[in-house]
């Protein structure tokens, strides 16, 4: 079908609209209790419970912007159908709130079938992770009004992989191949003409497999079988690993990304004698790094236990949980409902990739509890967790002492 006429740009962020949006967002996600704790240096004492909040946690600017634009779209296009490509962010409570506002999610494994049913009167929101080129092109063809909430840090990665493709350099992307952001980035790594190539590595083991092939060669078919779900169409390791450039999903663990870069550079040097065929550019999100750094600072004097709050499919929250459990008993929880009793807590096991239960998790007597949250977790959920924790310890009242 031929492209529809471009839709007229609409300014959603007028002062009048944003005043109402801010009021609505604050009523849904703000926490006076959390703000009081921030003002008190992140430390609160409630009876025999000491609570320490990480210096940086919760909503980042990109998430706040995405939510603001979604709320603004609902207000400005009050009489139109509004759809969202996937999830606005990785937090089920926030996505449920948008659904309650009548913002519907385009469903299906690749979402293209549903896009074919859209009309020019419909409004489509692109989430903070961005969307694949093919998805956005199909939406444009339908003539829909597009509200793009893609994070600026993500778009910086897109710029980098496009440049790699234009220069004949294959993008090695450190990330999760099936994550929305990485899929969106991978599609940009194909370049405008589709000539570019990419390979996604999730961890150091996969990185080492690539390094081994770079340095020593190997079984081409075996290599392609290993990465069949994580490389571009037509990828040939004997051809497309000659020149490589590293990029990453913005929410990955910085220390691991840096190690991926180091190992790949070393492999290229081992093969070529120089690193002329290797490129790298730091594309870790600033907010992700701030939250990781703040957690490391807290863990320098580990609390008795750590609660990490956020969506189970949130990459940056998962990395916070993995960092914390190296230093303290850690529970990665979705919300206050996971704190079922003093003897039982439901939490996400990042290795088994499923929710599990633990018993005897909450010590008796005085205790210091550290709390942090991923960049997609609103403050009201953190308050709910804290109040539930105090309830289980038999302590009433949220006042900071």
What is the C-alpha separation between 140 and 143, in angstroms, rounded?
Answer: 5
Please tell me the total number of residues recorded for the chain in this structure: 401
What is the C-alpha separation between 33 and 366, in angstroms, rounded?
Answer: 21
SS3 67: helix
Mention every residue, 6+ apart, whose C-beta is less than 8 A from residue 353. none
Look at residues 326, 316, 311 and name the one whose alpha carbon lies nearest to residue 284.
316
In this structure, what token pair is assigned to residue 64?
């706040």
**How many C-alpha atoms does 307 have within 13 Å on its Cβ side?**
28
Look at residues 373, 374, 321 and name the one whose alpha carbon lies nearest to residue 351.
321
Q: What angle do CA 215, 218, 221 make, to 5 degrees?
A: 140
**Out of 181, 233, 290, 383, which one is annotated catalytic?**
181
Angle between helix 379-392 and helix 32-39 axes, rounded to 10 deg = 90
- Distance from first CA to last CA of the chain, Å, rounded? 65
What is the C-alpha separation between 103 and 89, in angstroms, rounded?
Answer: 14
Active site residue 256: no
Mapping DSSP onto H, E and C, the string for 225-260 reads HHCCCCECCCCCHHHHCCCEEEEECCCCCHHHHHHH
How distant, in Å, are the alpha carbons of 22, 74, 134, 144, 351 from that of 17?
9, 10, 31, 21, 44
60-86 residues labelled b (16+ CB within 10 A) or e (exposed): bebbbbbbbbbbbbbebbeeeebbbbb
What is the set of active-site residues?
A: 181
């Amino acid at each position: 079908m031929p492209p529809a006429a471009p839709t007229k740009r609409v300014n959603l962020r007028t002062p009048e609209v944003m005043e109402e949006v801010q009021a609505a967002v604050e009523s849904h996600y703000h926490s006076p209790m959390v703000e009081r704790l921030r003002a008190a240096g992140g430390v609160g004492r409630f009876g025999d419970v000491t609570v320490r909040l990480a210096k940086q946690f919760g909503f980042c600017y990109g998430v706040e912007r995405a939510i603001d634009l979604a709320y603004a779209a609902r207000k400005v296009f009050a009489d139109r159908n509004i759809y969202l490509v996937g999830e606005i962010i990785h937090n089920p409570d926030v996505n449920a709130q948008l659904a309650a506002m009548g913002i519907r999610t385009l469903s299906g494994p690749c979402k293209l079938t549903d896009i074919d049913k859209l009309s020019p009167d419909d409004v489509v929101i692109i989430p903070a992770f961005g969307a694949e080129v093919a998805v956005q092109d199909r939406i444009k063809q339908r003539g829909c009004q597009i509200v793009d909430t893609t994070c600026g840090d993500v778009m910086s990665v897109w710029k980098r992989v496009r440049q790699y493709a234009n220069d004949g350099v294959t993008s090695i992307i450190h990330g999760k191949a099936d994550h929305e952001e990485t899929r969106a980035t991978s599609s940009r790594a194909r370049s405008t003409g589709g000539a570019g190539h990419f390979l996604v590595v999730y961890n150091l083991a996969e990185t080492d497999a690539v390094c081994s092939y770079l340095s020593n060669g190997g079984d081409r078919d075996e290599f392609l079988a290993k990465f069949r779900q994580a490389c571009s169409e037509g990828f040939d390791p004997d051809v497309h690993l000659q020149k490589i450039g590293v990029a990453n999903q913005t929410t990955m663990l910085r220390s691991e990304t840096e190690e991926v870069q180091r190992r790949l550079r070393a492999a290229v040097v081992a093969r070529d004698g120089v690193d002329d065929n290797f490129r790298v550019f730091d594309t870790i999100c600033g907010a992700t790094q701030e939250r990781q750094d703040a957690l490391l600072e807290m863990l320098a004097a580990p609390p008795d236990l750590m609660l990490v709050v956020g969506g189970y499919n949130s990459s940056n929250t998962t990395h916070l949980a993995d960092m914390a459990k190296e230093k303290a008993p850690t529970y990665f929880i979705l919300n206050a409902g996971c704190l079922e009793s003093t003897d039982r807590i439901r939490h996400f096991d990042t290795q088994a990739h499923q929710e599990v239960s633990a018993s005897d998790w909450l010590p008796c007597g005085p205790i210091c509890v550290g709390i942090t949250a991923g960049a997609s977790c609103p403050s009201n959920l953190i308050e709910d967790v804290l109040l539930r924790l105090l309830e289980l310890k038999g302590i009433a009242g949220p006042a900071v002492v």
